[in-house]
Amino acid sequence: MGIFDFLSGEFIDVIHWTDDSRDTMVWRFEREGHEIKYGAKLTVREGQAAVFVHEGQLADVFTPGLYMLETNNMPIMTTLQHWDHGFRSPFKSEIYFVNTTRFQNLKWGTKNPIMLRDPEFGPVRLRAFGTYTVRVTDPARFLVEIVGTDGEFTKDEITYQIRNIIVQEASRVLAASGIAVLDMAANTGDLGKLVAGAIGPAVEQYGLTIPELYIENISLPPAVEKALDTRTSRGISGDLDEHMKFAAAEALRRGGEASGAMGAGLGAGMGMAMAQQMAAPWGGQPAAASAAPPPPPVEHVWHIAENGETKGPFSKARMGQMAVEGGLTRETYVWTAGQDGWMKAEDVAELAQLFTVMPPPPPPGV
């Protein structure tokens, strides 16, 4: 390469940055030896800023536009100004491009529960999480305070620190808000603005701002949520006295369908007595004053299976007469409400005594 080819290369330089990574916040323009040519063109696009660093010191910040780097008051030393150094300038300049657009959908959340005093439940623990956006508003301060000499700085390198600030301020704002836990879901928008305003001064020291912060959810511990669901269910049930009576009636209805009309009649008397006893403490009346005498016991009635047909029902007294007359024997199959299937009469304790008044059948062969 001839000397004129080299000089022509020295006269032309275009400095710009395009980014499609969507997570790069700062990128350093790389030149061999960090040398910037005299007369170079600097293109700063919308959503960017360019920061010049000369000999380790921040020199200038360029906003969006097209610039010709050719004046002597610029902190730029080019090779064309130092022939005695063999086209190698001893003064080094660096250009850092800073992305000033919003970085969206960043996550935050409380790793540990937030302790606060609720006016209704007393001391409770809460967890909260949501999203936020961050934007560089002061490129020079951001470069000095956070980036340093990092040639490529991404949002992941700063979000951890921002999350810590958000969690700290969110804990303080939620604890000091005085809003009941049950009302926080209706006030997440206002609480988010309070948290964003509280963290503003802290992130401003880094040259950043938080344009948006959202609280997506505020949750209680699982055990507390379960107790709250139980309390809600009880509230939906309405008057406890009426609810207990209704529950007892439903249980009796299901029991009556399973065991028949006689079982339902017996269960109805027991259920009403139980409902009255359980309702008395909440109704404000003594149990003795409102208790009714129990219903008389219901006598079992029996069915007989004979020659593939069912006969009955027969009362116990009638079953005793049939045992004397021979119409009921020990081997006769009988059934009553609540009994598991057909059984021989001698296997039913209540009927077996009917046969003890008669002599047993004679032994075979006598």
CA distances from 337 to 62, 265, 272 (A): 96, 11, 21
Confidence of residue 139 (pLDDT cuts 50, 70, 90): very high
SS3 category, 80: helix
Q: Amino acid identity, residue 237?
A: S
Q: Is the pLDDT of residue 156 over 60?
A: yes
Please give the share of the chain, as a percent, with pLDDT higher than 70.
71
DSSP-based three-state secondary structure for 2: coil
pLDDT reported for residue 276: 58
238: confidence class by pLDDT, cuts 50, 70, 90: low
pLDDT band (50, 70, 90) for residue 71: low
Give the pLDDT confidence score for residue 277 in this predicted structure.
Answer: 57
Q: Which of these CATH numbers, 3.30.70.20, 3.40.50.2300, 3.30.1490.40, 1.10.3720.10, describes 302-355?
A: 3.30.1490.40
Span between the terminal Cα atoms of the chain, in Å:
141
Residue 27's pLDDT is what? 92
Q: Stretch 101-118: mean pLDDT, rounded?
A: 88
Domain 103-221 homologous superfamily, CATH: Band 7 domain (3.30.479.30)
- Cα separation, 110 vs 230, whole angstroms: 27
Query: pLDDT band at residue 11, thresholds of 50, 70 and 90?
Result: very low
Three-state secondary structure readout of 140-195:
HHHHHHHHCCCCEEECHHHHHHHHHHHHHHHHHHHHHCCCCHHHHHHHHHHHHHHH
CB 93 within 8 A of CB 76: yes
pLDDT of residue 360: 58
CB half-sphere exposure, 108, CA atoms < 13 A = 29
Average pLDDT, the chain: 76
**Rounded distance between C-alpha atoms, residue 174 and residue 116, angstroms:** 8
pLDDT single digits (tens) 278-329: 555 544 454 444 567 776 666 778 788 888 888 888 888 888 888 888 888 8
CB 180 within 8 A of CB 120: yes
